[in-house]
Amino acid sequence: MHIEVRGLKKQFGDFQAVNDVSFEIEKGHLIGLLGPSGGGKTSILRMLAGLESPSSGDIIFHGKRVNDLPPQERGIGFVFQNYALFKHMTVYDNVSFGLKVKGQSKEFIRERVMSLVELTGLKGFEHRYPHQLSGGQRQRVAFARALAPEPQLLLLDEPFAAIDAKIRTELRTWLKDMIERVGITSIFVTHDQEEAIEVADEIMIINKGRLEQKGSPWEIYKNPQTQFVASFIGESTIVENIERLKGFEEAANWPGTQALIRPEYIEIGKLSEFRLPSATFQGTVKHLHFRGSEWMVEVQVGDIKLITYRSLEKDVLQPGDEVTVLIHRAYLFNDSDTWIMENRLKVDPMPIHI
């Protein structure tokens, strides 16, 4: 289903939960709504479902305005954060609910439910009650139940929040495969960037009721358009006076500008390891943290503290060691603008000063 949202707003009393959000979603895409808790993601999802009515703005499905349609008539499936399974019904009855409401024949229901039960790997559990299932199984029941009436749009509210970390990654891949196989347009809400990046075709970053940026995960990572997006996606250190770092002296031309540097843009090592020694400078290792698959290194350069990662294959550093540091690039931002600045000495190792 093709979805268009124009100027969507939602107010709860004095609180502006959603503020002028507009976007379009192509048929068959899997979209992640990503942002901090309380940012308005769930409100947007609930308005799409018809569970909440917008204060203003239009929601258009397939070119038809659906603002005044109740949830029953929108042709959507909704997976709730805590699944909201009917706890007095078996798995079979839960999944068949939407079909029974529509008055489908018994044989049809049986066939559809059994095929969904098989699809979601719940075979043999049809006669169990929700409280007899594990978290992951409940989530799959919720998914099967939402899909049973063949909705055109699937909405998932924090679908993995209530599942423990280990099964979560498994279920993520499973859900992505499943949605691809069914070919249904889907939108899911999450506050976990890793989850959004891994699962979604496209991410919409929502903060304080506004749509900050929409794009593929790679685009958003590569070209964050606002300071919020830059700091929310990936890890980063904020540097107040970037002009003191070698290669970024030009930043002094924009007073009041701060920089945001991702760990992966910083390289540390011995001077001999760098191809362009002129672009590097010296720093001191301050702390080392073992992160399971790599070292996280805090490097002190003057009064600036930088954070980067170092492979376990390389020589183990000690706090107090002198290291050579190279910063590849940084996001610069001030009140009015954000842009990416490459290390100038790396681009042009021998600048001619006239």
Partner 1 sequence: MKKLWITLTYLVFIILLIIPIIKIFTGAWEEGWDGFVEALSRKQSLHALMMTGIIVVVVTAINTVFGVMLALYLVRAGWIGKRMKQFMNSLVDLPFAVSPVIGGLMIVLLLGPSSIMGAFFEDIGFKVVYALPGMILATLFVTFPLMVREVMPVLQEIGSQQEEAASTLGAYSWYTFWHVTWPSIRWGVIYGVVLTVARSLGEFGAVLVVSGNIMNKTQTATTLVYQDVENFNVIAANSIALVLAAFSVGLLLLMEWAKKRKEVH
Span interacting with partner 1, options 16-24, 76-84, 117-125, 329-337, rule CB under 8 A: 76-84
Give the one residue of 14, 64, 72, 105 binding partner 1; rule: CB under 8 A.
72
Cα–Cα distance measured from residue 351 to residue 283, given in angstroms and rounded to the nearest whole number = 23
Q: In the bound complex, what is the minimum distance in angstroms from residue 112's beta carbon to partner 1?
A: 13
Please, what is the minimum distance in Å from the beta carbon of residue 79 to partner 1? 9
Whether 218 and 197 have beta carbons less than 8 Å apart is answered as no
> Helix 165-182 vs helix 135-147: angle between axes, to the nearest 10 degrees?
20
Please give the residues from 124 up to 163 whose contact with partner 1 meets the rule CB under 8 A: 145-146, 148-149
Among the listed residues 339, 119, 123, the one whose alpha carbon sits nearest the alpha carbon of residue 250: 339
Query: What is the spatial distance between Cα 240 and Cα 247, in angstroms, rounded to a whole number?
Result: 15
Q: At closest approach, how far in Å is the CB of 232 from partner 1?
A: 28
**Amino acid residing at 107:** E
Q: Does 182 bind partner 1 (CB under 8 A)?
A: no
CB of 82 to partner 1, least distance (A): 7
User: From the list 22, 82, 132, 216, which residue makes contact with partner 1 (rule: CB under 8 A)?
Assistant: 82
Select the residue interacting with partner 1 from 61, 78, 125, 188 (CB under 8 A): 78
Residue 141 sits at φ, ψ, to 5 deg, of: -65, -45
- Closest approach, Cβ 162 to partner 1, in A, equals 13
Closest approach of Cβ 154 to partner 1, in Å?
A: 10
Phi-psi region of 103 (alpha: psi -120 to 50; beta: other; left: phi over 0): left
Interaction of residue 113 with partner 1, rule CB under 8 A: no
The residue (of 82 and 300) whose beta carbon lies closer to partner 1 is 82
Indicate whether 10 belongs to the interface with partner 1 (CB under 8 A). no
Q: How many CA atoms lie within 13 A of 266 on its CB side?
A: 31
Report if residue 54 touches partner 1, rule: CB under 8 A.
no
- Where does this chain touch partner 1 (CB under 8 A) — which range of 55-63, 73-81, 250-258, 332-340? 73-81
Task: Please report how close the Cβ of residue 51 comes to partner 1 at its closest, in angstroms.
Answer: 5
Residue 106 interacting with partner 1 (CB under 8 A): no
Contact positions toward partner 1, by CB under 8 A? 49-51, 70-74, 76-78, 80, 82, 84-88, 97-98, 101-102, 145-146, 148-149
